[in-house]
Structure 1
Amino acid sequence: MIKRFTLLAILFLTKLIAFAQSDVKYRVILFGDAGEMNAAQMQDLKNAAKQIIPKKTTVVYLGDNIYPTGMGLPGSLEEEDTKKILRSQFEPMRSMGATVYFIPGNHDWDKSGPKGLAKIKAQDDFLKAQGDPLLKLIPDNGCPDPVAIKLTDKLTIIAYDSEWWLFPYNKANAASECNCNTKDEVLVRMEELLEQNKDKVILLASHHPFQSYGPHGGYFNLRNHLFPLTSLNKNLYIPMPVLGSVYPFLRSTLLSPEDLNHPAYKDMIRSVNGVFGDYPNVTYVAGHEHGLQLIKGKQLQIVSGSGSKTSPNKQGKTSLFHAMEQGYVVADQLMNNDMRYEYYVYSDTSVKKVYSYIKKFETIPSKVRNRDKPITADSIFVKIKPEYDSVGRFHRYVFGENYRKEYAERTKVPVLHVSKMMGGLKATQRGGGNQSRSLRLEDKNGKEYVLRSVEKFPEVLLPEGLRNTFAKDIIKDNMSAQHPFSALVVPELAKAANIPHSNPIIGWVSPDDGLGEFESAFANTLCLFEEREPVGESDSS
Structure 2
Amino acid sequence: MKLYYLALITVLLTALTGCANYKLNYAAGSEDWQSIQSADTASVTYTLYLIGDIGDRTGKYNTGMDLLARHLRGEDEKSGVIFLGNNLSTANTGSRKKVYEEKLKEQLKSVRDFPGDIFFLPGESDWSARGLEGVEWEKDLIEDYLDRDDVWMPDPGCSGPEEIELTDDLVLLLVDSEWYLRDWEGEIDINSDCDVKSRKVFRWLVNEEMKSNRHKNTVVAMHHPLASFGPHGGSHHWKEHLFPLTAVNDHLYIPLPVIGSLATFLRSSTGNRRDLAHPVYQEMVEAFMDPARQNGRYIFAGAHDQSLQYIERDSQVFIVSGGGSGRTTPVHTGKGSDFAYSRPGFSRIHFYADGSAWVEFWASEYGRDEGRLVYRKQIKGPFPERVDPPDPEYDPITPGETVRVPVSERDYERGGLWRFFFGEHYRDVYKAEVEVPLFDLERYLGGVEPIKRGGGAQTNSLRIEDEKGRQYTLRSIDKDASRTVPYPFNQNVVLDIVEDNFSASHPFGALAAAELSKVVGINHNNPKVVYLPRQAALGEYNDDYGNALYLLEERPDDEVWQDAEFFGYPEKIE
TM-score (norm 2): 0.74
2:279 to 254, 263, 280: 263
**Distance in 2 of aligned mates of 1:338 and 1:497:** 58
Structure 1 residue 63 and structure 2 residue 85: aligned?
yes
Residue 175 of structure 2 aligns to which amino acid in structure 1? Y
Structure 1 residue 304 and structure 2 residue 334: aligned?
no
2:350 to 332, 337, 360: 332
Most deviating of 324-333 and 380-389? 380-389
Equivalence for 1:122: 137
Equivalence for 1:235: 251
- 1:294 touches 1:320 (CA, 8 Å); kept in 2? yes
| Structure 1 position 255, deviation (Å) | 3.9
1:61-210 matches, within 5 Å, as 61-68=83-90, 77-95=95-113, 97-109=115-127, 111=128, 115-130=130-145, 132-133=147-148, 136-169=151-184, 170=187, 172=189, 178-183=194-199, 186=202, 190=206, 193-194=209-210, 197-210=213-226
**Distance in 1 of aligned mates of 2:491 and 2:397:** 35
1:334-349 matches, within 5 Å, as 334=352, 337-347=355-365
- 2:91 touches 2:97 (CA, 8 Å); kept in 1? no
Q: Would the alpha carbon gap of residues 307 and 477 (structure 1) be closer, same or farther in structure 2, given more than 3 Å must change?
A: same
| Structure 1 position 527, deviation (Å) | 1.0
Say which SS state the counterpart of residue 159 (structure 2) adopts: coil
| Structure 1 position 207, deviation (Å) | 0.8
Equivalence for 1:367: 388
**Distance in 1 of aligned mates of 2:454 and 2:507:** 20
**Distance in 2 of aligned mates of 1:320 and 1:470:** 49
Say which SS state the counterpart of residue 125 (structure 2) adopts: coil
**Distance in 2 of aligned mates of 1:437 and 1:97:** 38
1:368-517 matches, within 5 Å, as 368=389, 370=391, 372=394, 375-384=397-406, 410-417=433-440, 421=444, 429-431=452-454, 433-440=456-463, 449-460=472-483, 484-485=507-508, 488=511, 503-511=526-534
Say which SS state the counterpart of residue 257 (structure 2) adopts: coil
Q: Would the alpha carbon gap of residues 232 and 425 (structure 1) be closer, same or farther in structure 2, given more than 3 Å must change?
A: same
| Structure 1 position 381, deviation (Å) | 2.2
| Structure 1 position 69, deviation (Å) | 5.1
1 or 2 for the larger relative contact order (CA 8 Å, sep ≥6)? 2
Residues 421-470 of structure 1, C-alpha deviation per residue, up to 9 Å, x if partnerless?
56765556555543322345566777664332112323445677897999
Equivalence for 1:39: 59
| Structure 1 position 87, deviation (Å) | 2.7
- 1:389 touches 1:405 (CA, 8 Å); kept in 2? no
Equivalence for 1:521: 544
| Structure 1 position 518, deviation (Å) | 4.7
| Structure 1 position 396, deviation (Å) | 5.6
- 1:283 touches 1:302 (CA, 8 Å); kept in 2? yes
Residue 338 of structure 1 aligns to which amino acid in structure 2? S
Most deviating of 288-297 and 182-191? 182-191
Residues 140-169 of structure 1, C-alpha deviation per residue, up to 9 Å, x if partnerless?
444333334444454333322222222323
The RMSD of aligned alpha carbons is 4.2
**Distance in 2 of aligned mates of 1:403 and 1:410:** 13
Residue 388 of structure 2 aligns to which amino acid in structure 1? K
Residue 267 of structure 2 aligns to which amino acid in structure 1? R
- 1:430 touches 1:439 (CA, 8 Å); kept in 2? yes
**Distance in 2 of aligned mates of 1:31 and 1:51:** 12
**Distance in 2 of aligned mates of 1:130 and 1:380:** 60
Residue 437 of structure 2 aligns to which amino acid in structure 1? P
Q: Would the alpha carbon gap of residues 267 and 46 (structure 1) be closer, same or farther in structure 2, given more than 3 Å must change?
A: same
- 2:55 touches 2:89 (CA, 8 Å); kept in 1? yes
Q: Would the alpha carbon gap of residues 259 and 196 (structure 1) be closer, same or farther in structure 2, given more than 3 Å must change?
A: same
Most deviating of 77-86 and 257-266? 77-86
Residue 325 of structure 1 aligns to which amino acid in structure 2? R
- 2:63 touches 2:344 (CA, 8 Å); kept in 1? no
Residue 38 of structure 1 aligns to which amino acid in structure 2? T
Residue 80 of structure 1 aligns to which amino acid in structure 2? K
Equivalence for 1:8: none
Q: Would the alpha carbon gap of residues 92 and 374 (structure 1) be closer, same or farther in structure 2, given more than 3 Å must change?
A: farther
Q: Would the alpha carbon gap of residues 333 and 40 (structure 1) be closer, same or farther in structure 2, given more than 3 Å must change?
A: farther
Gaps of 5+ in 2: 1-38, 557-565
Say which SS state the counterpart of residue 338 (structure 2) adopts: strand
| Structure 1 position 323, deviation (Å) | 1.8
**Distance in 2 of aligned mates of 1:523 and 1:362:** 33
Residue 300 of structure 1 aligns to which amino acid in structure 2? V
Say which SS state the counterpart of residue 78 (structure 1) adopts: helix
Q: Would the alpha carbon gap of residues 313 and 516 (structure 1) be closer, same or farther in structure 2, given more than 3 Å must change?
A: same
Q: Would the alpha carbon gap of residues 463 and 291 (structure 1) be closer, same or farther in structure 2, given more than 3 Å must change?
A: same
**Distance in 2 of aligned mates of 1:210 and 1:492:** 52
Residue 77 of structure 1 aligns to which amino acid in structure 2? S
| Structure 1 position 24, deviation (Å) | 4.7
Q: Would the alpha carbon gap of residues 133 and 276 (structure 1) be closer, same or farther in structure 2, given more than 3 Å must change?
A: farther
Say which SS state the counterpart of residue 54 (structure 1) adopts: coil
Most deviating of 494-503 and 148-157? 494-503
| Structure 1 position 48, deviation (Å) | 2.7
**Distance in 2 of aligned mates of 1:468 and 1:369:** 43
- 2:54 touches 2:65 (CA, 8 Å); kept in 1? no
1:14-25 matches, within 5 Å, as 22=42, 24-25=44-45
Gaps of 5+ in 1: 1-18
TM-score (norm 1): 0.78
| Structure 1 position 257, deviation (Å) | 1.9
Q: Would the alpha carbon gap of residues 293 and 450 (structure 1) be closer, same or farther in structure 2, given more than 3 Å must change?
A: same
Q: Would the alpha carbon gap of residues 173 and 313 (structure 1) be closer, same or farther in structure 2, given more than 3 Å must change?
A: same
| Structure 1 position 99, deviation (Å) | 3.7
Most deviating of 208-217 and 368-377? 368-377
Residues paired across the two proteins, number: 511
Equivalence for 1:10: none
**Distance in 2 of aligned mates of 1:369 and 1:121:** 50
**Distance in 1 of aligned mates of 2:103 and 2:498:** 48
Residues 99-138 of structure 1, C-alpha deviation per residue, up to 9 Å, x if partnerless?
43221111111x2x6x322222112111221354497222
- 2:403 touches 2:438 (CA, 8 Å); kept in 1? no
- 1:166 touches 1:258 (CA, 8 Å); kept in 2? yes
Equivalence for 2:16: none
Most deviating of 307-316 and 504-513? 504-513
